[in-house]
Amino acid sequence: MPLSRKLFGGAVIATAAVAAARVRGRRSSPPALPPPGPGSHGSYPWRHADLFFTRAGAGAPALLLHDLYAGASGAEMAPLAGRLSGALETTLLDLPGFGRSGRPRLRFGPDLFFDGIVEFVRHQVDAATLIVGSGLSAAYAVEAAVRLGRLARGVVLIAPPEPSGVASIEAPAWRPLAYQALRSPIGDAVRLWRSSAAGRRRLLERSLAVTPPDIEQRADGLRRFAGQPDSGWPLWSLWAGDLAWDPRPALSRLGAPALVIWGAEARVNAAAPEAYGAVRPDMPQHVVPGTGRWPHVDAPDEVAETLLDWCAVEGVERKGGEE
Report which secondary-structure segment, H or E, holds 13. helix 3-28
Residues 6+ apart with CB under 8 A from 163: 169, 246, 248, 269, 272, 275
Per-residue pLDDT of 226-244, as tens digits, reads: 999 999 999 999 999 999 9
Q: Which CATH class is domain 38-172+243-314?
A: alpha beta
Q: Please give the pLDDT value at position 150.
A: 96
Of the candidates 110, 188, 120, 104, the one whose C-alpha atom is nearest the C-alpha of residue 152 is: 120
CB 247 within 8 A of CB 142: yes
User: Strand (E) positions, the chain?
Assistant: 40-45, 50-57, 60-65, 88-93, 129-134, 152-158, 258-263, 285-288
* Closest by Cα among 35, 75, 82 to 53: 75
What are 171-183's pLDDT values in tens digits?
666 667 788 888 8
How is the chain split into domains, by residue range? 38-172+243-314
pTM of the model: 0.88
